[in-house]
């Protein structure tokens, strides 16, 4: 038997299983490895002559097992590519000119109404998008920008939204509703059996996770003078402000959203999320070890594991003290006082990001939440292009636009989320931060 070929065949079978589960990066490696095995069999003809038919049979069996999946992935990629290229809202040929599109100029034109003077290029682009709109596009009366511009802002959104930075999967350009994806509710079962005995039948339990578009809107207020006098640097400023506002709202919804028709269902609201044990306790190294242990005990400690909390939770962990003797009320620092956030992450063992969107007044008024999990199991879907409008109301959110000589730029998109395996997260709601 040739040990090298046996290992390659075993690796091919593993890669095929990864392809079947939807891991796109495994497909290319699968095809390449299949070619390497065929070459190895041909190369070692003399030394493996008695096993050549056996190896070629194993290779054929593995390939037949996964060939359909590989071809289906290629087919779907080609169909998606055709659909994107055929979608007029992508404005074929606009890719090279997308950097010329200015949200700032568009906002000025919306304020003045003089598109020819303020934003002739932006006007032409928006008119092309408007021609492509259908009744199902559900415009709110604003100006819809092409997907190429939306994509740039979504990349900024990734950088500004804490949850998206944890390894969350983001699907853009979704069409139709609902978007569905299968999820495994329970796995199969393995058995030891005697020779000639039948293997007990077991089946994977599958469910269907769904996402439906929910409107996410944001307002950014600027003075009329700023809109008139801003330099080209103002374009970056307004894009970053929009991404920040949308990112904060998205963080809160993905973590604590109540679900229903108006917002996504957050991780804290999931039925099968693991509930953090230990009662009302302060954040300590032991607490985090126990929470991670809950994931480990449920076979969920894999993938993009990380921690999200309010900043005060990490600060209190840095200040953790250990009593050195009975009655010691001061104690010594558990962590070195000069440890950075990165060093704290290294000590805990996982990436840790914080957001002030999470409350710290839960329970008796001084409790906070901790989220730990495999964030790759969280999928965020984005449907529509971004739609912009200038608010004409005299006041917004209690701020008088008229009295303060301001205008508010509104942006709307459609978003939802789903979790493929809810037990991939542990949620502790009663961390004492007093």
In a domain, 330, yes or no: yes
Judgement on whether residues 241 and 355 belong to the same structural domain of the protein: yes
Residue that terminates a domain, selected from 85, 119, 149: 85
Judgement on whether residues 80 and 174 belong to the same structural domain of the protein: no
CA-CA distance, 376 to 418, in Å (whole number)? 11
In a domain, 397, yes or no: yes
Say what the pLDDT of residue 361 is: 95
Say what the pLDDT of residue 326 is: 80
CA-CA distance, 308 to 254, in Å (whole number)? 12
In a domain, 129, yes or no: no
CA angle 321/325/329 to nearest 5° reads 50
In a domain, 143, yes or no: no
In a domain, 157, yes or no: no
Say what the pLDDT of residue 147 is: 64
Burial of 162 per CB tally in 10 Å (0-12, 13-18, 19+): buried
Say what the pLDDT of residue 183 is: 65
Judgement on whether residues 400 and 287 belong to the same structural domain of the protein: yes
Would you tell me the crossing angle of helices 3-20 and 52-86 to the nearest 10 degrees?
A: 30
Mean pLDDT, 10 residues at a time, the chain of 434 residues: 70 69 61 73 59 68 62 50 45 61 84 85 80 49 67 75 90 79 60 63 62 86 76 79 87 92 91 92 93 93 93 92 79 79 88 94 94 94 80 67 78 90 94 94
Burial of 66 per CB tally in 10 Å (0-12, 13-18, 19+): buried
Say what the pLDDT of residue 353 is: 94
In a domain, 197, yes or no: no
* Structural domain boundaries, residue 18: 3-85
229: CATH: 3.90.1690
CA-CA distance, 294 to 425, in Å (whole number)? 9
Print the SS3 string covering the chain.
Answer: CCHHHHHHHHHHHHHHHHHHCCCHHHHHHHHHHHHHHHHHHHHCCCCCHHHHHHHHHHHHHHHHHHHHHHHHHHHHHHHHHHHHHHCHHHCCCCHHHHHHCCHHHHHHHHHHCCHHHHCHHHHHHHHHHHHHCCHHHCCCCCEECCHHHHHHHHHHHHHHCCHHHHCCEEECCCCCCCEEEEEEEECCCCCCCCCCCCCCCCCCEEEEEEECCEEEEEEEEEEHHHHHHCCCHHHHHHHHHHHHHHHHHHHHHHHHCECCCCCCECHHHCCCCEECCCCCECCCHHHHHHHHHHHHHCCCCCCCEEEEECHHHHHHHHCCEECCCCCCCCCEECCCCCCCHHHHHHHHCCCEEECCCCCCCECCCCEEEEEEEEHHHEEEEECCCCEEEEECCCEECCEECCCCCEEEEEEEEEEEEEECCHHHEEEEEEEECC
Q: What is the Cα Rg of the chain in Å?
A: 27
Say what the pLDDT of residue 135 is: 41
**Which residues are bridge partners to 103 per DSSP?**
none
Say what the pLDDT of residue 208 is: 73
In a domain, 38, yes or no: yes
CA-CA distance, 372 to 354, in Å (whole number)? 12
Residue that terminates a domain, selected from 65, 85, 105: 85
Say what the pLDDT of residue 117 is: 87
Judgement on whether residues 306 and 407 belong to the same structural domain of the protein: yes
Count of domains observed in the chain: 2
| CA neighbor of 258 nearest in space, from 214, 304, 311 | 214
In a domain, 362, yes or no: yes
Say what the pLDDT of residue 275 is: 94
Q: How far is CA 392 from the centre of its chain?
A: 34
CA-CA distance, 163 to 307, in Å (whole number)? 10
Judgement on whether residues 67 and 175 belong to the same structural domain of the protein: no
- Count other Cβ atoms within 10 Å, centred on residue 321: 14
Say what the pLDDT of residue 84 is: 42
Say what the pLDDT of residue 80 is: 43
Residue that terminates a domain, selected from 63, 85, 107: 85
CA-CA distance, 208 to 355, in Å (whole number)? 31
């Amino acid at each position: 038997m040739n040990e090298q070929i046996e290992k390659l065949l075993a690796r091919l079978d593993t890669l095929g299983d990864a392809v079947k589960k939807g891991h796109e990066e495994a497909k290319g490696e699968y095809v390449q490895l299949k070619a390497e095995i065929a070459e190895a069999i041909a190369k070692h003809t003399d030394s493996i002559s008695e096993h050549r038919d056996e190896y070629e049979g194993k290779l054929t069996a593995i390939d037949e097992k996964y060939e359909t999946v590989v071809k289906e992935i290629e087919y779907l990629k080609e169909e998606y590519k055709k659909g994107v290229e055929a979608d007029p809202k992508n404005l074929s040929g606009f890719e090279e000119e997308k950097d010329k599109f200015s949200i700032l100029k568009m906002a000025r034109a919306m304020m003045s109404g003089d598109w020819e003077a303020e934003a002739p290029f932006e006007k032409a682009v928006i008119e092309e998008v408007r021609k492509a709109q259908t009744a199902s596009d559900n415009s709110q009366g604003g100006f819809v920008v092409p997907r190429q511009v939306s994509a740039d802002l979504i990349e900024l959104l990734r950088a500004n939204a804490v949850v998206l930075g944890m390894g969350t999967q983001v699907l853009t350009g979704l069409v139709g509703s609902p978007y569905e994806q299968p999820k495994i509710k329970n796995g199969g079962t393995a058995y030891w059996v005697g020779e000639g005995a039948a293997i007990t039948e077991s089946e994977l339990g599958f469910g269907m996770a769904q996402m439906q578009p929910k409107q996410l809107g944001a307002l950014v207020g600027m003075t009329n003078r700023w809109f008139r006098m801003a330099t080209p640097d103002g374009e970056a400023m307004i894009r970053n402000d929009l991404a920040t506002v949308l990112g904060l709202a998205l963080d809160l919804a993905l973590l604590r959203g109540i679900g229903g028709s108006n917002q996504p269902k957050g991780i804290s609201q999931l039925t099968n999320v693991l509930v953090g044990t230990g009662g009302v306790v302060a954040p300590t190294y032991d607490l985090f070890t126990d929470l991670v242990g809950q994931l480990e005990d449920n076979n969920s400690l894999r993938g993009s594991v990380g921690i999200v909390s309010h900043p005060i939770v990490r600060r209190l962990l840095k200040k953790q003290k250990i009593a050195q003797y009975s009655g010691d009320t001061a104690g010594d620092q558990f962590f070195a006082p000069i440890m950075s956030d990165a060093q704290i992450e290294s000590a805990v063992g996982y990436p840790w990001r914080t957001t002030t969107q999470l409350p710290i007044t839960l329970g008796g008024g001084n409790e906070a939440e901790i989220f730990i999990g495999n964030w790759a199991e969280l999928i965020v879907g984005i449907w529509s292009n971004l739609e912009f409008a200038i608010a004409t109301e005299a006041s917004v959110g209690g701020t008088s636009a008229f009295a303060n000589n301001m205008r508010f730029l509104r942006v709307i998109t459609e978003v939802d989320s789903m979790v493929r395996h809810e037990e991939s997260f542990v949620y502790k709601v009663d961390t004492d931060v007093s």
